A and B are shown apart, each in its own frame.
Chain A
Amino acid sequence: MGLQPYLILAACLFTIGLFGVLTRRNAIGILLGIELMLNAVNVNLVAFARFTGETAGLIFALFTISITVAEVALGLAIVILIFRVRRTVEADNLDLLKG
């Protein structure tokens, strides 16, 4: 197994996540798409770390995982807060900042 299959798998995952972010209406659904994209990045980082023998990739993946968890927790807190105020989590309805 070379490095290429891992990278192509990660590219497929990334684009599936991108599709989710672009097409989902529900704010939580959009967050799930972002999760998939970040996950694809982790696969890339770990694969490169393994195939170059450099541990920096593993540590970057560790940082990405930690930051993603914090990001999801706060993102969902914001979603819940928006729901408390506006009673909806449909991203299309959240256009207060639109001129």
Chain B
Amino acid sequence: MSLEAAGFWGLALVLLASSLAVVLSKNLFHSVLYLAVALVATAGVFLLLQAEFLAAVQVLLYAGGVVTIVVFAIVVTERLVGERLAQTNRGVFTGGLVSLAVLVWIVVFIAGAKLPAAAPPLTGDLTQAIGRDLLTRFVLPFELLAVLFLAGLLGALFFARKEE
């Protein structure tokens, strides 16, 4: 119990600090590196919630795939050394005010909701259950996901084609 709490607060600290660094860092490349930290910390939160499969997917797809693509996009659009990489925020006061209002609204809602105080004991293998449900109860969304990826692939090919 105390181990879980210690893990949670440690991960929460890392997660919030790195997320703040993502949105506040002046250097775009540093932002991406902090995003990688935040995504791996999220995988840690998934582990705390005993969703090992999702933690693995998170590290593979997000921390591996997304960060690589973003770094690639930065290399293509900016120079890695020099002033071009510097980025600024605008409307910090208004943006902060709106975000804070949303945060207060959500927290008030959560505080007023009736939530379970402890997790029920795990029954069986979660990864097995995910695999079974994916091909029975959720087979239609699963197939639609394949269609989405096909559309994405075609879109990427369209963007990458040679100019005529």
Identify the A interface with B (CB < 8 A): 1-9, 11-20, 22-26, 28-29, 31-33, 35-36, 39, 42-43, 46-47, 49-53, 55-56, 58-59, 61-63, 65-70, 72-74, 76-81, 83, 89, 92
Identify the B interface with A (CB < 8 A): 1, 4-5, 8, 12, 15-16, 19-20, 22-23, 28, 31-32, 35, 38-39, 42, 45-46, 49-51, 53-54, 57-58, 61-62, 65-66, 69-70, 72-74, 76-78, 87-92, 94-96, 98-100, 102-103, 106-107, 110-111, 115-120, 123, 126, 129-130, 133-134, 137-138, 141, 145, 148-149, 152, 155-156, 159-160
Partner of B35, one of A12, A36, A81: A36
Q: Which residues of B contact A77 (CB under 8 A)?
A: 155-156, 159-160
Main secondary structure of the interface of A (DSSP, over half): helix
Partner of A61, one of B54, B96, B100: B54
- B23 close to A17 (CB less than 8 A): yes
In whole angstroms, what is the CA distance A92 to B90 when docked? 10
Q: Which residues of A contact B76 (CB under 8 A)?
A: 80, 83
